[in-house]
Amino acid sequence: MNFIAMDFETANAKPYSACSLALVMVRDSRIVGEYYTLIQPETDFFWRNIQIHKIHPQDVVDAPKFPDVWQQINQYFNPQSLIVAHNAAFDNKVLAGCLDYYGLEKPEYLSLCTVRTSRKLYPECSNHRLNTMCDYLNIGLDNHHDALEDSRACAQILLRQEDSFGTDPLKKLVTIQ
């Protein structure tokens, strides 16, 4: 499988308030690269999210704003790209929110949600949150809500699913963004 696992953390409930982003690149079913950055959101406040991800306003003072980050990563988003996220609706919404906020063109790409794949393939689980799936599949997740660690975990979940079930049930859940 070839895909990129993506995870955003946000400063607040606004979809353009990304304060960190991680991408984990997978080629031929192996993790081959990682990208992580803090992002300086253009928002007046950090909300309760600090309690979740531990990123404070002072942590992002010198971080790039989203347009600078987008220049570094937009090459990964094209109609042939498979972008995977655990709760992809959230991460796709943040990406779209940031692009809209800055007036940047939205790319078309393929999307796959590992919450959806987990619900389909592991219906016996009590819930399908990232930490629950990592526990169930014996995938290490020491610092949940760290974007890079969450992206790695998401990539590992999909790779375990591919190993156990093949790609056919996964392909059926791919959507176009």
Structural domain boundaries in the chain = 3-176
Closest CA to 26 of 173, 120, 163: 163
Q: What is the pTM of this model?
A: 0.95
3-state secondary structure of 18: strand
* 30 contacts: CB under 8 Å, gap ≥ 6: none
Could you give the CA distance from residue 137 to residue 159 in angstroms, rounded to a whole number?
Answer: 11
Averaged pLDDT for residues 34-56:
86
Taking every pair of Cα atoms in the chain, the longest distance, rounded to a whole number of angstroms, is: 46
Residue 65 reports pLDDT greater than 90: yes
Measure the CA angle with vertex 34, ends 160 and 114; round to 5°: 35
* Residue 129 CB-density burial (10 A; 0-12 exposed, 13-18 middle, 19+ buried): middle
When pLDDT is cut at 50, 70 and 90, the band that residue 59 belongs to is: very high
Residue 54 has pLDDT above 90, yes or no: no
Distance CA 8, CA 19 (A): 7
3-state secondary structure of 90: helix
Look at residue 143 in the predicted model and tell me its pLDDT: 82
For residue 144, name the pLDDT band (cuts at 50, 70, 90): confident
CATH 3.40.640.10 for the 3-176 domain, yes or no: no
Residue type present at position 48: R
d(CA 60, CA 38): 6
Distances in Å between the alpha carbon of 30 and those of 65, 106, 117? 30, 28, 19
- pLDDT band of residue 145 (cuts 50, 70, 90) is confident
Q: What is the DSSP letter of 125?
A: S
Please tell me whether residue 64 adopts helix, strand or coil conformation.
coil
